Amino acid sequence: MFIEPKEIVATEDQTKIWLYIGMIIVMIPIITALILINPPAGFDPSVDPDFDNWANIQFIFRLFLFVQLILLGTASCIQILHAYKINYLYIFEVSPKNAMTWVQIYKSALLMQVIWCVCLLV
């Protein structure tokens, strides 16, 4: 017996997912361009003390990137289990009232990606 936790509200969740994907598509080229731009000709990194701060915050950005990858992997695994009618709620001992669907997990992972890209731009 397969228990579905909630009905998927396709219109609201899918609208937010496509909004997040669009925002990410816009921000990725900007981030890439900012990373690849050469510093000005007279720039001396030894004089600017803030230039080396990237090494300090790099680990924080990497941590949040791995959290996002874990969320995306979890959502894809739940999607596969749902497609093959495997009762993952019983296997993982999750209450059907409190379970998230794979669409909601994708939505939260993409929201974290948008926040990550905005923080990277700032």
- Looking at residue 24, what is its pLDDT? 94
Reported confidence tier of residue 99, pLDDT bands at 50, 70, 90 = confident
Tokens 């990194």 — which residue? 45
The Cα-based distances of 88 to 10, 49, 71, 81, 97 in angstroms read 21, 51, 16, 7, 14
Alpha helices in the chain (DSSP H): 10-36, 54-83, 88-91, 102-121
* Average pLDDT over every residue of 21-50: 80
Question: Residue 83 and residue 15: Cα distance in Å, rounded?
Answer: 22
pLDDT at 84 over 90: yes
44 compared with 102, residue with greater pLDDT: 102
- Looking at residue 115, what is its pLDDT? 93
Reported confidence tier of residue 2, pLDDT bands at 50, 70, 90 = low
